[in-house]
C-alpha cells in the first residue's frame, strides 16, 4: 500500500449460492427477509429456530426450506457454506460467530458488524443488472438513501436493455472480426442511448441503431408492438 492510502476493510464480491447449504439462525421477520433473498439465489436454506413467521412456516410446509424447530447449539454449522444469524440474543450471536470463525464459514450477524466476516449490501436489481451499495457498515441508512436515489436513475427499462445487450454480445463474439473491432463495437453500443430510448418508448430510434449495427434480426424478438408495450 502507498503511504496514506486507507485499507479497505471489505472485499466486494458476488457469491454463487446455487445448491449451497446456507443456515439462518432465527425465525422472525428479519430472518424471513434473509431466507427469501437466499432462496432467490437458488440456495439450499436451513432455518434453526423454535418458532417461524407464517411466511417461513408456509415455505417449510411447501418443502422450500429445511426447519429444525429448536434453538441453535454448537455444531449446527457443520457442512454449511454460509451462515446468517438473525437473532437478538447476544449470547447466540457471539457463539454463532465463534463457531463460524473456527470452521472458516462466512458469517453475518445482523446489525452486529463486530460479528461479521461479510456484510450484505443494499442492492438494486433490474433483471441481470445488480447494483450493490455499501458504506462498510458506517451508515446503513445512507446506503438505503443512495439505493433509493439510484432506483430512479436505473428504471425497469434496464431489464430489457441488459437482455438485449446479452444477445448483442453473443452475436458480436461470433462475428469474423478482430478482437479490437469486437471491443470497439461492444463499447459503442454500451455508450449508445438505448436505455433512454427504451425508457421513453422511442422504438424507431432503437430500430435505427440496431439496423445500423447489423442486428436487424433482434428487432422482431424484442420490439414487437405487444411485447414492447407490455415491457415498458
pLDDT band at residue 224 using 50, 70 and 90 as cut-offs: low
Q: Are 107 and 96 in contact (CB under 8 A)?
A: yes
Per residue in 126-153, pLDDT tens? 999 999 998 887 888 898 899 999 999 9
Q: Whole-prediction pTM value?
A: 0.79
SS (H, E, C) 125-166: EECCEEEEECCCCCCHHHHHHHHHHHHHHCCCHHHHHHHHHH
The CATH class that applies to domain 9-120 reads alpha beta
Residue 228: is its pLDDT beyond 60?
Answer: no
Chain-centroid distance of CA 137 in Å reads: 18
Per residue in 58-71, pLDDT tens? 999 999 999 999 99
Amino acid at each position: 500500500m502507498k503511504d496514506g492510502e486507507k485499507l479497505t476493510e471489505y472485499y466486494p464480491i458476488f457469491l454463487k449460492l446455487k445448491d449451497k447449504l446456507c443456515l439462518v439462525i432465527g425465525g422472525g421477520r428479519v430472518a424471513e427477509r434473509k431466507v427469501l433473498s437466499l432462496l432467490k439465489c437458488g440456495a439450499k436454506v436451513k432455518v434453526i429456530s423454535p418458532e417461524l413467521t407464517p411466511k417461513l412456516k408456509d415455505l417449510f410446509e411447501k418443502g422450500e426450506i429445511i426447519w429444525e424447530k429448536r434453538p441453535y447449539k454448537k455444531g449446527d454449522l457443520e457442512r454449511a457454506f454460509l451462515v446468517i444469524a438473525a437473532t437478538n440474543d447476544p449470547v447466540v450471536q457471539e457463539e454463532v460467530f465463534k463457531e463460524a470463525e473456527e470452521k472458516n464459514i462466512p458469517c453475518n450477524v445482523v446489525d452486529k458488524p463486530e460479528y461479521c466476516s461479510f456484510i450484505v449490501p443494499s442492492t438494486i436489481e433490474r433483471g441481470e443488472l445488480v447494483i450493490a451499495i455499501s458504506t462498510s457498515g458506517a451508515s446503513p441508512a445512507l446506503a438505503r438513501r443512495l439505493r433509493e436515489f439510484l432506483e430512479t436513475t436505473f428504471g425497469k427499462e434496464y431489464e430489457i436493455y441488459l437482455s438485449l445487450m446479452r444477445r448483442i454480445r453473443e452475436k458480436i463474439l461470433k462475428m469474423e472480426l478482430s478482437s479490437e473491432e469486437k471491443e470497439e463495437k461492444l463499447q459503442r453500443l454500451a455508450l449508445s442511448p438505448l436505455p433512454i430510448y427504451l425508457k421513453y418508448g422511442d422504438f424507431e430510434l432503437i430500430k435505427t441503431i440496431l439496423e445500423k449495427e447489423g442486428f436487424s434480426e433482434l428487432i422482431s424478438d424484442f420490439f414487437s408492438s405487444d411485447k414492447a408495450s407490455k415491457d415498458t
